[in-house]
Amino acid sequence: MKIADFEIGKEKAFIIAELSANHNGSLDLAVKTIEAAARAGADAVKLQTYRADTITLNSNDEHFIIKGGSLWDGLTYYQLYDKAYTPWQWHKTLKETADRLGIILFSSPFDKTAVDFLEELNVPAYKIASFEINDLPLIEYTAKKNKPVIISTGVADFNEIKDAVNVCRNTGNNDIILLKCTSSYPAPVEEANLLMIKKMREDFGCITGLSDHTLSSITAVTARALGAFVIEKHFILDKSINSPDAAFSLDEKEFTNLVNDIRTVEKSLGSIDYTITQAGQKNRHFMRSLYVIKDMRKGEIFTSENIGSFRPNLGISPKYYKEILGKKAGRDIKANTPLQNELIDKGE
């Protein structure tokens, strides 16, 4: 599967910098954030494409007021999304910025009009947010565009994930990526449950990854070691920015460290191969081998008193020790000599 020119599921993870609301209402800041994400080594930057009135209703009724211990308690849903949304008229400029920098740009649509708008921009993939995973008509409409669909699973149970995957596949679109996600902002590390990355891959037959809302890079780096091929992390230019997502976003330095750590993990994963590495081959001389430890005369019998296993590896392997016991020396041998086959009487 490819997103633009990036092959997903091969050697390198697809690392996404999530812009979200971290532009703080400024196009200039949004552009500078994309530039910083490119410098930090992100493979892609992701937007969110909605307007407040396409994601919620403008109401002050009690059930539209956010509560429950979140960062946004007291705001109405409309107030939050009206502050956080990325103006649609910016998208073209942000796409051109990403293209200029050689970084992939795509987005999360939150209704069908957003999908249509993003199609006009020719984005190479779509992301379904965790809270939209039950909007099967939206997922179906998105999947029918025949582009890779990345789905966060932060609030979904098994059957809801299965429904979302099946809706995509029923359109003929099998380019599906599932992201393990903990939909808490910020997310506690102890709720990351990263072992689900492998389990989801097995259960749904999809490439899997992580949408990470924890406060460090450890969770994302560990996820890569566990087989995540897509890593998404919120990115911010400056943590002093009064953005709704600032508290759980990485700045340029932190994101650079994240990318470097993930690339180091990828180098260390290697491949499934018992072949000894070059470094290992060079150091095989530190292995043990058999040595004659006392002066021996020709015809003398090898015993545990006159041969033993020692470093370096210049003689016969110790695995032949028992076979050699009871055999005779083929000639005189001085102590500390590596035991070689030509020193053993062949009895011919």
- pLDDT per position as a tens digit, 89-98: 999 999 999 9
Among the ranges 19-28, 209-218, 222-231, which has the highest mean pLDDT value? 222-231
| Tokens (6 digits) for 157 | 């149970």
For residues 123-140, average pLDDT? 97
**Quick one: 224 and 318 in the same domain?**
no
Least confident of 70-84, 206-220, 242-256, 302-316: 70-84
Cα 103 to Cα 39: distance, rounded to the nearest angstrom: 10
195 and 321 share one domain: no
pLDDT at residue 320 greater than cutoff 90: yes
* pLDDT above 80 (res 260): yes
Mean pLDDT of the 106-133 span: 97
Whether residues 176 and 257 fall in one domain: yes
* CA distance linking residue 293 with residue 335, whole number of Å: 5
Q: What is the pLDDT of residues 215-247, one digit of tens each?
A: 889 999 999 999 999 999 999 999 888 887 888
**Cis ω on the peptide bond leading into residue 312 (within 30° of 0)?**
yes
Q: Which domain holds residue 221?
A: 10-50+85-269
Most confident of the ranges 74-83, 99-108, 244-253: 99-108
Max Cα–Cα distance, the chain, nearest Å: 102
Q: Based on the domain organization, do 300 and 239 belong to the same domain? A: no
- Whether the pLDDT of residue 347 is over 80: the answer is no
Judgement on whether residues 137 and 237 belong to the same structural domain of the protein: yes
Which of 269, 293, 314 lies at the terminal end of a domain, its last residue? Answer: 269
Q: Does the pLDDT at position 348 exceed 70?
A: no
Mean pLDDT across 33-48: 98
Confidence at residue 243, expressed as pLDDT on a 0 to 100 scale: 84
- Judge whether residue 289 has pLDDT over 90: yes
Q: What is the mean pLDDT of residues 119-144?
A: 97
Q: Which of 236, 269, 302 is the last residue of a domain?
A: 269
Question: Where residue 287 sits, what CATH number does that domain have?
Answer: 3.90.1210.10
In this structure, the answer to whether residues 265 and 294 fall within a common structural domain is no
Asked whether residue 171 is domain-assigned, the answer is yes
Mean pLDDT of 271-299: 91
For the whole model, what pTM was predicted?
Answer: 0.87
**Do the domain assignments include residue 69?**
no
Q: Domain ends where: 269, 299, 334?
A: 269
Give whole-number Cα distances, 271 to 37, 38, 124, 137, 276, in Å: 30, 29, 30, 41, 12
Q: What is the pLDDT of residues 154-204, one digit of tens each?
A: 999 999 999 999 999 999 999 999 999 987 778 889 999 999 999 999 999
Q: What is the CATH number of the domain that holds 184?
A: 3.20.20.70
Q: Note whether 237 and 181 are same-domain residues.
A: yes
Structure confidence at residue 279 (pLDDT): 82
Is residue 314 over pLDDT 60? Answer: yes
Q: Is 244 domain-assigned?
A: yes
d(CA 185, CA 73): 12
Mean pLDDT of the chain: 94
Q: Is residue 64 part of a domain?
A: no
Residue-level pLDDT at 66: 84
Same domain, 107 and 25: yes
Distance CA 209, CA 211 (A): 7
Examine the domain organization and report whether 229 and 283 are in the same domain. Answer: no
Q: Is residue 79 part of a domain?
A: no
Q: What is the mean pLDDT of residues 102-124?
A: 98
Instruction: Give me the pLDDT at residue 323, please.
Output: 96
Percent of the chain with pLDDT over 70: 99
Q: What confidence score (pLDDT) does residue 70 get?
A: 67
| Position 144 in a domain | yes
- Would you say the C-alpha torsion 38, 43, 47, 48 has a positive or negative sign? negative
Work out the number of other CB atoms within 10 angstroms of the CB of residue 70.
12
Domain tally, the chain: 2
